[in-house]
Every structure is written in C-alpha cells, then in structure tokens.
Amino acid sequence: MLDRTDPEAAIAEAAARYSNWGRWGDDDVLGTVNFIDEAKRREGAALVRRGVSFSLSQRFDMDGPQKGWRRRTNPVHTMLDTGTDAALGNQGFPHGIGGADDVVAMPLQCSTQWDGLGHIFDHGKAWNGRPAEQVVTSEGDLVTGIEHMAAPVAGRGVLLDVGRVVGEDGELPDGFAITEGHLQAAIDAHGVAVGRGDIVCVRTGQLTRARRDGWGDYAGGPAPGLSFTTAGWLHRTEIAAIATDTWGFEVRPNEFDDAFQPLHQVAIPNMGLLIGELWDLDALAADCAADGVHEFWLAAGPIPVTGAVGAPVNPIAVK
C-alpha cells in the first residue's frame, strides 16, 4: 500500500530498487532502448502479415489540446509562399514554375511525442547519475539529446487496450490508476506476451472521450494512467519504451497528497525508460480488436532535434 502522505520516501525507495544506472556503461545515452537489439527488430518486422499501417500520431495544428500550461501552446502554422503568390507572379521564378512553402512554431511536446532522457531529474541527477546542470543547459541536452533516439526506436510493438478490457464502453475514467493487475488482465485478454525490448502502447480511452466531449483539461488535467506501483513491472519486464493516449502517462491526480509526476521521477532519470505521451491509439485498437492480433511492427523514431529533451513523433504501426 502507498503511504499517500510520504511521496519522498516512496520515490527514493523505488528509485534505488529500480535503478539502471551503469547497466549499459557510464557513457550510455539510450537507457532502456538498449533492449531493442537487431534480433528484436527482426522479430518485429516478421509480424507484418497484412501490410496495413496505422499512424499513431495526433494532428499538429491550432485545434489541439494545449491551453498554455507551462507555456505549451498548439502549433502555429504559417505559409511563407502560397498559390496566390505563384498565380500573381510574385515569386520571380522562370518558365511559369511556382511553389508553396511554410513554417511551424511549436513546443516540442505539444502533441504526440517522446519524453527524452533529459526531460526529468531526480534531486538534481539526470539519467545514469549525471549532474543535471552538466547535462541540460541553455544550449540544450548536451548528453542525452533526443537525436540519439532517431534510429533505434523501431521493433516489436504491443498494444494493451486497458480501456477496452477494464473500462466501461472502452474508456477508463479520469483518475483511474492502472495497476500491474490491470496490465496483466489486458495481456491475458489479448493473448499476447510482453517482455524485453518491446515498445508497449497503453490505451486508456481518454483521447476517445476528449474527441467526443471536447478537449477540456486533456492536456494537463485529471486522467487515467499508470499507477506509481507499476514501477516494478516497468523495470522487471525490461520493456524498451511505453506510450499512452494521455498527456502525462501516469494517473492524474497523482496517488500522493502532495506530488507531481512521481512515476516520471523514477522511470526517466533512474530507470532510463523512454516514455511517449499524447499518442492516438484508437484506429489501431479497433483493428486489433477486430482481428485479435495485438502485436505489430512499430517504427517510432522522434524528429532528431539536436539537444532536445523531447520531440514530436509520427509512430507507424504495421500489421
């Protein structure tokens, strides 16, 4: 049982018990993504049978969920050149050629994204025990920048549709804490295994609800998510990464009286776990429910923004 009044002790105990510091050497920059080896990628690629593909990304536009919390805004898309410019001959190109060009300004974690290993610290320590002030400076993440994840995050994906298995009408209510028991119930219901090197996608159904009822506080408010008590499962299974259809991955409000994202504090800087948020798992989940297959090839490399502590991703699942 969690002592709701003492998050500090619970975090310290879990951080020590589930630490992967030094596991892949002092210079490691990949954390649990090290579990995805060449054999794991071949295993994932062999899952492609029908050739049907799914984008697991939400849209990047002004109609997104962001409301300014921590200065996060929705993407601002601006055209630099348009068809009107071409038709009016304003572009100065020869022989009738014209074109369009555009620019986007946005926080890197405003829509579907990965949290980089430099995103969260624990008492001033970044992943692998490095001093936070030496890792992330005004110049960005000098050590574990998200660019290191651009190539290796591809392999066997597994969908755990906890919303369908445990929830009512395919959705979990806000504030619902997903325990190891709930994860195992989904594993059993789907007839799928979860283990070393897997990229696990957990559907809660909150995005489904937000699309139906409006964004509300989807970006930062109450949400279903993983319980703090799943830290042991995340470590023991040796999964490479985990992503959810929610803003914060873990249950909100958090399970302590005075805490902010305690599972992040254990999972990222201590475990080295790659965490994805704001993923769109609905179309994939519907297909998995229809054919009973909850494993697939998943390519999910982030945009390699040098030194970024998180970055957008368009994950592609292929079955």
| CATH value at residue 293 | 3.50.30.50
Task: Please indicate, yes or no, whether residues 48 and 89 belong to a single structural domain of this protein.
Answer: no
CB–CB of 126/135 below 8 Å? yes
Answer yes or no: is 1 within a domain: no
Answer yes or no: is 164 within a domain: yes
Its pTM stands at 0.97
Answer yes or no: is 48 within a domain: yes
- Cβ neighbours for 95, distance < 8 A, ≥ 6 positions apart: none
> Residue 303 gets which letter from DSSP?
P
Task: Please indicate, yes or no, whether residues 99 and 112 belong to a single structural domain of this protein.
Answer: no
Domain end call among 104, 122, 146: 104
Per-residue confidence (pLDDT) for residue 137, from 0 to 100: 98
Task: Please indicate, yes or no, whether residues 92 and 117 belong to a single structural domain of this protein.
Answer: no
Task: Please indicate, yes or no, whether residues 18 and 162 belong to a single structural domain of this protein.
Answer: yes
- Containing domain of residue 241, as a range? 7-70+107-318
What's the mean pLDDT in 206-226?
Answer: 98
Residue 237 has pLDDT above 90, yes or no: yes
H or E element in which residue 197 lies: none
Task: Please indicate, yes or no, whether residues 91 and 128 belong to a single structural domain of this protein.
Answer: no
Task: Please indicate, yes or no, whether residues 277 and 312 belong to a single structural domain of this protein.
Answer: yes
What's the mean pLDDT in 8-29?
Answer: 98
- Cβ neighbours for 54, distance < 8 A, ≥ 6 positions apart: 283, 284, 287, 316, 317, 318, 319
CB–CB of 265/120 below 8 Å? yes
What's the mean pLDDT in 14-22?
Answer: 98
Answer yes or no: is 259 within a domain: yes
CB–CB of 103/82 below 8 Å? no
pLDDT band at 172 (very low <50, low <70, confident <90, very high): very high
Per-residue confidence (pLDDT) for residue 70, from 0 to 100: 87
- Please, what is the end-to-end C-alpha distance for the chain in angstroms? 40
- Cα separation values, 119 from 90, 127, 169, 182, 272, Å: 44, 9, 34, 27, 11
The dihedral formed by the CA atoms of 12, 230, 177 and 223, expressed in degrees to the nearest 10: 80
Per-residue confidence (pLDDT) for residue 1, from 0 to 100: 79
Task: Please indicate, yes or no, whether residues 265 and 301 belong to a single structural domain of this protein.
Answer: yes
Task: Please indicate, yes or no, whether residues 92 and 162 belong to a single structural domain of this protein.
Answer: no
pLDDT band at 87 (very low <50, low <70, confident <90, very high): very high
Per-residue confidence (pLDDT) for residue 301, from 0 to 100: 98
Task: Please indicate, yes or no, whether residues 219 and 299 belong to a single structural domain of this protein.
Answer: yes
Per-residue confidence (pLDDT) for residue 154, from 0 to 100: 98
Answer yes or no: is 50 within a domain: yes
Answer yes or no: is 2 within a domain: no
The DSSP bridge partners found for residue 136 are 141
- Both tokens of residue 147? 């660019």
Task: Please indicate, yes or no, whether residues 89 and 128 belong to a single structural domain of this protein.
Answer: no
Task: Please indicate, yes or no, whether residues 274 and 314 belong to a single structural domain of this protein.
Answer: yes
What's the mean pLDDT in 172-196?
Answer: 98
Answer yes or no: is 141 within a domain: yes
> Residue 5 gets which letter from DSSP?
T
H or E element in which residue 23 lies: none
User: Could you give the 3-state DSSP secondary structure of residue 165?
Assistant: helix
Answer yes or no: is 120 within a domain: yes
Task: Please indicate, yes or no, whether residues 238 and 296 belong to a single structural domain of this protein.
Answer: yes
Kindly report, residue by residue over 306-317, the tens digit of the pLDDT: 999 999 999 999
Residue 69 has pLDDT above 90, yes or no: no
The DSSP bridge partners found for residue 103 are 78
Provide the domain count of the chain.
2
Largest CA distance in the chain: 74
